[in-house]
Amino acid sequence: MIKVKGLKKSYGGVEALKGISFEVHAGELFAYLGPNGAGKTTTIRILTGLTKPSAGDAWLDGFHIEKEGLKAKRRFGLVMQSINLDQELSVWENLDLHGRLFGMGRSERKDRINELLAYVDLIGRKGSLVKELSGGMKRRLTIARALVHAPAILFLDEPTVGLDAAIRRRIWALIKKIQGQGTTIFLTTHYIEEAEFLADRVAFLDEGRLVTIDKPQNLMAQIGAWAIDQMDDGNIKTVYFKSRQEADAFVMMQKGSFTVRRVNLEDSFLSLTGKKVQC
């Protein structure tokens, strides 16, 4: 559904992307992880036609993003980090305007908007001005707007940034629901637990290069199942173990402050790059 081959992007001599290649399968939820400045947003901007690559090619549902830009753009919906809704329009008017831009007829727009507002649990707020909504409601509305034209691909760029834990989990449930309808989802996030919970596969990006692509459980299993964080001269030192028994045996021999926990996806990224995802 998404194919990227040899993608490069430079800004004034600085290489943001250094020849990345990957594919995202139909119906898959693909998480794209990396620290700030790794090239995540640049990748999304190229895939959505907002930025031209310096080299390489990208296709969305078989359409070349540069050579067949209009056809490619009709295949995706985009949810950016910022809430870019029209605050002075109502919930309904925001969705209706989006449908008009995609050439949808009046009857088709009405049916689709009612369906989506029920889908994201905002049917009772369709007449409300966007500025009257809570942060979580606005985020759900941006997702609904991206789905108005029934895209095959949904790009989610930090979709839950700034939301509290309870609302984030509600958005997670919505994202999985959307995927369950057959939509291919490309997700960037700084919340490592978000990628662990949602993703079928994860790509690690660091300094414009792809480090690895695999299922979250496979990446974590490569380093172990349990981790012990220990303070060492003011720094946190982490040791990994395959079993809880091994971790407990290690703890019995230690002094000082330590924490025993499950291995997470950020441990995998750290072991491969020496960096944290959240930075």
d(CA 187, CA 14): 25
Superfamily the domain 2-215 falls into: P-loop containing nucleotide triphosphate hydrolases (3.40.50.300)
* Mean pLDDT within 68-88: 92
Task: Check if the beta carbon of residue 203 is closer than 8 Å to that of residue 172.
Answer: no
pLDDT tens by residue, 216-273 = 999 999 999 999 998 777 778 889 999 999 998 988 887 777 888 999 999 999 888 8
d(CA 39, CA 276): 15
Tokens of 80: 């950016």
The amino acid occupying position 16 is A
3-class SS of residue 99: helix
* Mean pLDDT within 156-179: 89
pLDDT tens by residue, 175-194 = 999 999 999 999 998 888 99
d(CA 212, CA 219): 9
Mean pLDDT for the chain overall: 92
Q: Are strands 29-33 and 184-188 parallel, antiparallel or unpaired?
A: parallel
Residue where the block lists tokens 């009405």:
110
d(CA 195, CA 201): 9
| Crossing angle of helices 165-180 and 135-147, rounded to 10° | 10
With helix as H, strand as E and coil as C, how does 141-203 read? HHHHHHHCCCCCEEEEECCCCCCCHHHHHHHHHHHHHHHHCCCEEEEECCCHHHHHHHCCEEE
Say how many CA atoms lie within 13 Å of 31 toward its Cβ: 28
Neighbouring CB atoms inside 10 A of 265's CB total: 23
DSSP 51: S
pLDDT tens by residue, 89-132 = 999 999 999 999 999 999 999 999 999 999 999 999 999 999 99
d(CA 39, CA 42): 5
Dihedral through CA 3, CA 153, CA 174, CA 172, nearest 10?
A: 20
Q: Are strands 153-157 and 184-188 parallel, antiparallel or unpaired?
A: parallel
Residue where the block lists tokens 């290069």:
209
pLDDT confidence of 202, banded at 50, 70, 90? Answer: very high
* Mean pLDDT within 57-83: 94
Task: Check if the beta carbon of residue 130 is closer than 8 Å to that of residue 89.
Answer: yes
* Mean pLDDT within 186-203: 93
Sequence-ordered strand ranges (E) for 215-255: 226-232, 235-241
pTM of this prediction?
A: 0.90
pLDDT confidence of 278, banded at 50, 70, 90? Answer: low
Where exactly are the structural domains of the chain? 2-215, 224-262
Q: Indicate whether 61 pLDDT > 80.
A: yes
Q: Indicate whether 1 pLDDT > 60.
A: yes
Give the chain's radius of gyration (CA, Å): 21
- Return the pLDDT at 279: 47
- Return the pLDDT at 82: 83
Beginning with the edge strand found earlier in the chain, give each strand of the sheet holding 235-241 in spatial order: 235-241, 226-232, 258-262
Task: Check if the beta carbon of residue 79 is closer than 8 Å to that of residue 35.
Answer: no
pLDDT tens by residue, 138-150 = 999 999 999 999 9
d(CA 264, CA 30): 17
- Return the pLDDT at 72: 95
- Return the pLDDT at 201: 98
